[in-house]
Structure 1
């Protein structure tokens, strides 16, 4: 069984042509990408590293990591976003960047300990078995390497902010982008990471001000958050 939800794949596939429109449905991804990129690069300098981006979608993060000097493999199971990612990379002349339609678990079986850095951003809350993806990421990274996750906490505040606010009131995201039951508490993600053999190094929250339309990283992990993990050397 492939660890993917056909409805989720179809949902993002239908919007694939809008992926690189900074004012479109994926505007939040464009806005938060510099924050994610700088945070990753500060802890695991990307230049010269081999990176796997799990659930890469249309390639916003993957392409920006390649621009920082990493050799990047972006993978996804939604075909249309992958084609968009490949086309955009060709259009801008991106180097050291490859995309493949393959599951994280399959890539882990094929290339264990094959990457210096593994990123899995805004993806865990869209799959049936997120812990399986966490295990795959832990397998993919070399001893001493870094794994970065980002997802959404599960509590009343995150329901109000990420679904009611972002999807219905502010319309930052299309309705139905997220399903509350699939949100993941930091304690759950930390447990899956430790069970997979990773050391949890840092949590960061990501906040948004709808008046200034600005995102920033903070210590508040109550809604959107990022996790940095490391595989012991």
Structure 2
């Protein structure tokens, strides 16, 4: 959340594992930031409120790894195929994507609007011996400071939580290095996603806490494509990700009715 100078001057010093940084920018939705901040300590609990994300993560990682390997001519089967490449993880949460990306060889910068999330992410990465540049900041702050550009920019399940999706995703795309790529993961605004991604996930299966998502903020693939139409990127997708209850696994599919990814490349 964004705090006033008076708040910052009277606030208690951060506890161990926390950070005193503050993010600022028009993309911040204070209510969503507060919601995720309240759960910051539980990001790495595979049986906690982020348990569904832990199950979802392997499919996301496979998608990013395979697309990046193809884009940059790397062998995805090697131990650290992306050594020498930079990656920005926007809205990194507790670091569930940033850490494996670092292990794959990327030089990772990861930002989040929640300083509590960044504190958790930093502490966990330190325990794992991973050097990830974590920072409580927004993509608008990075762009204003002239950060990057990066070979890969990721924004995974973030755009549906920001106040101005178009300004947000355009800022993200401008941080992509020529020849690089951006991957956007989100939920589709369909009746299927209303039934499964909202009501079933939050109120029936209890995969995520009630109120995590606002279905009205879900975006259709064509809307993301239109948002990026004025930027010098080529957009492909959607690429669906679906859950198989029989195997209890997520995988890429042709069904983009609920979860999907879009890829934007800058030539």
Q: Specify if TM > 0.5.
A: yes
- Output one character per residue of 1:77-126: Cα deviation in whole Å (capped at 9) or x when no partner: 1111110000000011113x110111101212223651110000000000
Aligned to 1:11: 35
TM-score scaled by structure 2? 0.83
Partner of residue 261 from structure 2, selected from 223, 226, 233:
226
2:169 to 134, 146, 150: 134
Alpha-carbon distance between aligned partners in 2 of 1:33 and 1:25, rounded to the nearest angstrom? 14
- Rg larger in structure: 2
Matches of 1:133 and 1:196, distance apart in 2: 12
Tell me the CA shift for residue 35 of structure 1: 1.5
Q: State the Cα distance separating 1:211 from its structure 2 match.
A: 4.5
Select which of 31, 35, 45 maps to 1:21: 45
Match of 1:166 among 185, 195, 201: 201
What are the Cα deviations for residues 165-214 of structure 1, in whole angstroms up to 9, with x where unaligned? Answer: 11111111110010011000011011112222220133210111334422
SS in 1 for 2:160: helix
1-structure distance, mates of 2:100, 2:212: 24
- Is 1:200 the counterpart of 2:235 in the alignment? yes
Structure 1: runs of 5+ lacking an equivalent: none
Name stretches of at least 5 consecutive residues in structure 2 with no aligned partner: 1-24, 70-81
- Looking at structure 1, the residues matched to 46 and 229 of structure 2 have their Cα atoms a distance apart, in angstroms, of 36
CA distance in 1, matches of 2:124, 2:182: 26
Q: Structure 1 residue runs of 4+, over 3 Å off?
A: none
Residue 37 of structure 1 deviates from its aligned partner by 1.4
> TM-score scaled to structure 1, two decimals?
0.95
Give the number of aligned pairs. Answer: 231
Q: Name the Cα RMSD after superposition.
A: 1.3
